[in-house]
Amino acid sequence: MRAGAGYDTIDHNHCSRRGIYVTNCPAVNANAVAELTMGLILSIDRRIAESTYQLKTGNWNKALFRRSKGVKGRTLGLIGGGNIARQVCKAARAFDMNVLVASKSRKPGLDQ
């Protein structure tokens, strides 16, 4: 069993020949991945990695780091409409972001 979406890294034919059943837990990590996604989006906007590095080297360029635009009112594009996309969409909307979704099928939780 694989925790997470998909199991394309597992050799199904080999497992089948040995009588091993292959499965996954598609939604088990969706919220954690969505939280990490939003954290990275905020980190990019706030330049957290760059400012941390600057601070560790003894520099602080306040003028550079206060240029953050914030995420409120910004648009986030999601490709696909699976479990992770639904969680990211929910989190992004909590930040008052506009969300655009490109998906082959309409799924609940991604409606505008």
Q: What is the pLDDT of residues 74-108, one digit of tens each?
A: 999 999 988 899 999 999 999 999 999 998 877 66
Model pLDDT for residues 25-52, shown as the tens digit of each residue: 878 889 999 999 999 999 999 999 998 9
The whole-model pTM stands at 0.76
For tokens 């400012």, name the residue.
51
d(CA 67, CA 84): 30
What fold does the segment set 28-102 form as a domain?
A: Rossmann fold (3.40.50)
Q: Which two tokens stand for residue 99?
A: 């969300």
Q: Is residue 85 within 8 Å of 105, Cβ to Cβ?
A: no
Residue that is written with structure tokens 């990490």 in the block: 36
Domain ranges of the chain: 28-102
